[in-house]
Each structure stands twice: as structure tokens, then as C-alpha cells.
Structure 1
Amino acid sequence: MNFYEKEQNMQNLKFSILKKDDINAVVEIINKAYRGEISGKAWTSEGKILSGIRVNEDMIKEILEEKNSKIYITKFEDKIVGTIQAKLENNSIYIGLFAVNPYFQGSGVGKKLLEFTEKSSMKLYNADKFIMQVISIRTDLIEFYKRRGYKVTNSFLEFPKSELWDFRTNEELKFVVLEKDILR
């Protein structure tokens, strides 16, 4: 299927909450989108700044057990093509683990998945705003979120170290916090 056909068929997306049977598929999508071999073709890729994996099955299982956290997925023709997490904390909904299969990036899947997650989370949780963290040098991602109503704050967080990944850059990595007010 070419890009035009994918774009025309995006109304066929189905959204749901992640079930344990789909954990492996979600881990694969997240790792491919951010660090996989084909992630270099993905505009969301962190492959030039980080190596290794982003998540593993145990991390996703742990998130599924959290009380105020949901992982949403979207399917196209019964195949998972995107995933995102929404977690309620201190009257805010934190958005994370947002990934779209690299072959579907740029076709509207991410926009629709983010919209679905925001609407679903607003119904589920009584919160004042959405919050997310983006690696500060990822200006393309920051611009994507700004077009969706997120505002860049002056808050920064240290980028964590992990056995799962290594740094491929000498630049200091940090997260910038983005926020979007929830209007009811």
C-alpha cells in the first residue's frame, strides 16, 4: 500500500486499551519507531542520539498494573500501528510512550491517536492539563506538539541513564516539559 492509499484509509483506524496479549507488538512498535533499524527513516527517531532499546516487556507490564494509567493502541486492518500512554498524576494527565509504526508515520495516525487519547483521558480523569516531556533537541517533535496546542515551558528535567541505552551524542540531553490546558 502506498502513502496515498494509507492516508485515504486512516478513517478505518480502531482505537482501544492495550491488552496483555498485545504487549510484544507494542514493545516492537516503540523500539522500531525510536531506535530500530528502520527508525532512521522515521521522523520520530532518536537513533542518532541514543542506541539500544526504549522499552521492554516488563516495563509495559508494570505500566499496565498502575492504577491511574492507560496505554491506548490503534489498529489498521487488525495490526497495531500506534501506541500512547496517558497517566493521571497530581491533577494532570501525563502523555508518554507515544509511537507510530515508521511505515505509517506522516499519514495522520499519530494525530488521530493523540486526539483519541486526549478525549478519552478527559472523560476518564478530572484533570487540569496534559503534560509531556520531549528531548529538548528534538525540535521537529516539539513543533508537532505545538501545532496540537501544547506549549513549551521553562521546565527541564535531566535525561535518565539506563542499562537499556547508550548516548550517541556529546550534547547534553534533557527533557523539556510541554503543557496543554484542558478546556471543559
Structure 2
Amino acid sequence: MSPLTFRAATSADIPALITLVTSAYRGESSRAGWTSEADLLDGARIDAPGLQADLDTPRSTILIAERDGQLVACVHVADVEGKGYFGMFSVDPTQQGGGIGKSVMEAAEAHVVREWGVPVMQMTVIDVRDELIAFYERRGYARTGIKKPFPYGDERFGTPRRDDLRFEVLEKPLPGTAA
């Protein structure tokens, strides 16, 4: 199997990113992997204007992982008030469980240290996603106890299928920085 290659996304990648992220989180195709939010949320996970805004924001990068020229994973990283932000983490559901996610996480962490020198990476995870939180904890992320409300009524985040959703902040100190 050929190695993964990483690059920064461009505007030309937006349609493929929408397809990948949607397949990883929403609808029936997402059920092929274990990261699906289909039981929690309906509707769009991302849209073209939101992706373009991420691409246009200073100190913000959407990293793309490719194998043999094919998009297999992505992640959005940014410097948010001196801390790394990790989001929109998506692996093709048919290729989950083979180490791609771990490689993408490592590349994302290395990117924020190399490019912005941030001491920690943070992410928000829907707090009822115990299996996903456990995945991140095995990779060095810790629950901070900080909870944030789910943006009910904001269709950019999808249409909730239940009324008890909220986000929890996870955090990981990054090697090579003075945390």
C-alpha cells in the first residue's frame, strides 16, 4: 500500500471535501465507518462558504491526506487565541480502522507546532459520543470538563435528532512546545 501524502487544501478541493466529510458523518454512507453522527444529527455537516472561510482565515489550514492521488481524509487546524484547534476530522468510512486517522492526527499536531508554535491542541466533541472521546483519549487528549452548548437552530451544524446535545472540550499538550 502506498504511503499517505499531505497537503493544504485549496478552493478547488471544496466539492471533494464536502463529499468526504458528509460521507464520514451523515446519512447511510457514514454507517460504513464508526464516526457516524447519523443517529444524532441530520442535514449538512459542512458547506462551501464555511470551507472557503476556513481557507481564507489567517493561521487556518485544511489538511488533506491522499493515497495515490485520491482524497482519503482531512482535518481543519487553526491557531485560535494561541491554542491549536482540531476539527472537521474525517476519514473515508470505507477506510476507517486502518491507521489513517492516527496518521492524520499526527500530521495535524505537527503542522500546528511547526507553523504556529502553539503549545496545546483543543477540539470539541459532542459529549454523548463516548466511543469517539475514548479514541481521542487513547491518543493523549483529555477531557477538560468544559462544556459548550450545542447551537440548536443553527443549520450550519445540522439538524439535531435529540435535545440533549452539547460539546465537551478535549485538550492535549503538544510535544516540542513549552506548554
| Equivalent in the alignment of 1:182 | 174
Match of 1:3 in 2: none
Consecutive unaligned residues of structure 2, counting only runs of 5 or more, are none
Counterparts of 1:25-64 in structure 2 under 5 Å? 25-64=16-55
Match of 1:167? 160
**Which deviations, in whole Å up to 9, do the C-alpha atoms of 1:46-91 show, x marking residues without a partner?**
0001001100111101110000100000011211010101110121
- Alignment RMSD (CA, Å): 1.1
- Unpaired runs of 5+ residues, structure 1, are 1-8
Of 1, 9, 28, the match for 1:18? 9
The DSSP-based 3-state class of the residue aligned with 1:54 is coil
Residue 76 of structure 2 corresponds to 85
Code of the residue aligned with 2:40 in structure 1: it is: I
Distance in structure 2 (CA, Å) of the matches to 1:97 and 1:136: 16
Distance, in Å, in 1 between the alignment partners of 2:135 and 2:20 is 20
Aligned to 2:116: 125
Structure 1 ranges of 4+ moved more than 6 A: none
What is the one-letter code of the residue matched to 2:127? Answer: S
Q: Is the 8 A contact 2:113 2:119 kept in 1?
A: no
Other structure's SS at 2:90 match = strand
Q: Distance in 2 between matches of 1:173 and 1:134?
A: 10
TM value normalised by structure 1: 0.91
SS, match of residue 145 in structure 1: helix
Q: Distance in 2 between matches of 1:82 and 1:160?
A: 26
2:147 matched residue in structure 1: 156
Tell me the secondary structure at the aligned position of residue 156 of structure 1. Answer: strand
Deviations 1:95-135 (A, max 9, x none): 00100111111111111011011112110012121000000
1:169, distance to aligned residue in structure 2 (A): 2.2
**1:70 and 2:61 aligned:** yes
Count of equivalent residues: 174
Alignment-derived partner of residue 93 in structure 2: 102
Output the CA distance in 2 between the equivalents of 1:121 and 1:183. 11
